[in-house]
Amino acid sequence: MSFANLHQHGNLFVNYLKVRREVFIDMKGWELPQSEGMEFDQYDTPLSRWVVIHEYGRILAGMRLTPTTAQCGQYTYMLRDAQRGLLDNIPADVLFVEAPCRDDIWEATRLFVAPSVDGKRRLLVQKILLEYMAASARALGAEAVIGIVPAVFSRWMKRIGMTATPLGPEMNIAGDRTQAALMNVVQPYKDRQQPALRHSA
């Protein structure tokens, strides 16, 4: 979804933001902006896109894609802004390298599988979400997606047939063991060299 086509999807975007609130505020206890039962932040702008997996309107999973070239006021995208010291809840040393600003790399944030999805379906829904993340990113001209993933991402990604390269140290963010990674979306099921990134000075 994009701001340009939200009207074609009825209440899907509103319901997606409501489930985001359930996951990240109610369950995880993150301190995030909320209003009328919806969670949102400064990166939910017309620059971003949203991938939502649903079943007859019931939200199963979702995520947000933001270009690493984004600029909205003082903000760009989450990992770069963290590195610039603009975000209190993500350490500035989240990346080993300088945060990219490239048309062929987008950032993925707010990945979740809804708590209503039972254990037997969670892996399948997670796989479908990442497949559509990769397809959506490719359609936007991306070769890779950068984002914060579970620290066990190597095993996690392998289970769903995708590959990723670590880009930062393991860290605890709001109670979750996480790590920044660069995910291949051009050939997500094959080992392929990722776009080269510059190391920070």
Residue bearing tokens 């990945």: 111
Nearest alpha carbon to residue 70 among 39, 34, 35, 107: 107
201 residues of the chain, pLDDT tens digit each: 999 999 999 999 999 999 999 999 999 999 999 999 999 999 999 999 999 999 999 999 999 999 999 999 999 999 999 999 999 989 999 999 999 999 999 999 999 999 999 988 998 998 899 889 999 999 999 999 999 988 777 676 776 667 788 999 999 887 788 899 999 887 655 544 555 565 544
What's the pLDDT at 26? 96
Q: Is 7 helix (H, G, I), strand (E, B) or coil?
A: helix
Residues with Cβ within 8 Å of residue 99, at least 6 apart in sequence: 68, 77, 79, 80, 83, 84
What's the pLDDT at 198? 58
Q: List helix spans (H) across the chain.
A: 12-21, 78-83, 119-139, 153-159
Residue 123, number of CB atoms within 10 A of its CB: 14
Residue bearing tokens 């991306």: 142
What's the pLDDT at 159? 67
pTM of the entire predicted model? 0.89
Torsional class of 153: left (φ above 0), alpha (ψ -120 to 50), beta (otherwise): alpha
Q: Which residues, in sequence order, are bridge partners of residue 72?
A: 75
DSSP state of 6: G
Q: For residues 127, 187, 102 and 99, what is the CA-based torsion angle, rounded to 10 degrees?
A: 60
Distance, CA of 174 to CA of 5 (rounded, Å):
33
What's the pLDDT at 148? 92
What's the pLDDT at 201? 40
Nearest alpha carbon to residue 22 among 117, 110, 111, 115: 115
Tokens of 86: 């603009």
Q: Report the chain's C-alpha Rg in angstroms.
A: 16
Check: CB of residue 75 under 8 Å from CB of residue 42.
Answer: yes
